[in-house]
Amino acid sequence: MSDVNDQGFYNRSLERALQILNAFSYEKQALTLTELSEILKLSMATISRLCSTLIKFDFLKYDQNSKQYFLGLKLFELGGIIFSSFSIRGTATPHIIRLQSKLGKTMFLGILQNNELIYIDKRDDPRNPIIFASRIGTRRPPHFGMLGQLLMAYLSDSEVDQLLTQSPLIPFTKKSITDVKEFKQRLLNTRKQGFFVDEESAFDGITGVAAPIRNFTGAVVAAIGIGFISSSVTGDELKQIINDMIETAKEISRELGWKNKEDL
């Protein structure tokens, strides 16, 4: 294993910037340049330079009147993302386990974060003859498989364009869509029907069904999905799986505070 002090892995400026952020606490929510210098045992010139960069990216803010630094809104935003993912997972887990027990197939829970699809839960079933490579914490392109395409269906056109510019469509299987116009039409159809059936676009011989999870504002914040061997499910069974997925997603969404017309 490489030494963490290797210049290829170690960045002193980054370390010092993180030390500045860690200097703040509930007891010390505001600090002057002098106080930061004393706490970190660094020169005020070094602290000032690093703080300027942290302010630029909203990790710190500076009050000209009091000459004090405060933690910035970017940290609040990032903390909210983490809290949201934990909250979603905690709420969804009992429902995922229950549906997995009923269907005997692998269940997934995913979100879009930092322009990537991230799996925040996965439940394998011993009765399932296949093991999916994706695990909790696995990152995929935003358009990958059932979860990625389902989540992208609820983004604005500009957000979709941004993601496709950063992560162009590539063929994972011979059934993957690589034409942008056709892909966008699929997203539109998915949004209209409220679920997505992925027919072997991520893995050969594997079908997936995904449904959206909404928060109290009605925004889609996550997706649940189920994967199975395509030939193992009949047409009628697929319809039942779709119904089960949609209802489970609604139950999770209601616990997150979402109310649809049926609830009013």
Domain boundaries, the chain: 12-71, 78-263
Q: What percent of the chain has pLDDT over 90?
A: 65
CA distance 84 to 72: 19
Model confidence pLDDT, tens digit, residues 27-39: 899 999 999 999 9
| Mean of per-residue pLDDT scores for the chain | 88
Q: Closest Cα to residue 111, out of 182, 203, 213?
A: 213
pLDDT above 80 for 262: no
Model confidence pLDDT, tens digit, residues 192-222: 999 999 998 999 999 999 999 998 889 999 9
For the record, the structure tokens of 161 come out as 């364009």
- CATH 3.30.450.40, domain 78-263, yes or no: yes
pLDDT above 70 for 18: yes
CA distance 230 to 205: 6
Tell me what pLDDT residue 264 has. 40
Choices 1.10.3720.10, 1.10.10.10, 1.25.40.10, 3.80.10.10: CATH for 12-71: 1.10.10.10
* Amino acid making up residue 9: F
pLDDT above 80 for 82: no
pTM, entire model: 0.68
